[in-house]
Copies of this chain bind each other. A is one copy, B any other.
């Protein structure tokens, strides 16, 4: 559905956001460990998230990644957009460019249900809400050992 990179990105974003209420910045190493992703690759993803203003970064000692208030209220859709683009919410199941309500592929009207359900879901779910969920301890970001 979304790429592996995008899954890492979502997990990283939520983890960073979960530290916001304590005003803590986290480094690449800690993030990579928490989300069980390769460190260097996590760095690249965080770079992209920073460029897209999904998270904020600060270099140097006491530096790291954090979420500001406005970023906490971004929908998770923005994370997907930054990493994979919005194709997953718009592309035809048959892979046809011109597929639309007016010029539908054979599965168009059925598939639109899924696409719009997913879009709504990702649009209405904020980074903040996921991070809060995480802080309850009832959710997790990596597979337990």
Q: Residues of A within 8 Å of B, CB-based: how many?
A: 42
Which residues of B are found within 8 Å of A86, using beta-carbon distances?
none
Q: Is the CB of B7 within 8 A of A93?
A: yes
- The one of B10, B118, B134 in contact with A114, judged by C-beta atoms closer than 8 angstroms, is B118
Q: Is the CB of A76 within 8 A of B107?
A: yes
- The one of B1, B14, B107 in contact with A125, judged by C-beta atoms closer than 8 angstroms, is B107
- Interface residues as binary, A125-145 with B (CB distance below 8 Å gives 1, 0 otherwise): 100001101100011111110
Q: Interface residues, chain A, CB within 8 Å of chain B?
A: 1-2, 4, 7-8, 10-11, 14, 76, 88, 91, 93-98, 103-108, 110-111, 113-114, 117-118, 121, 125, 130-131, 133-134, 138-144
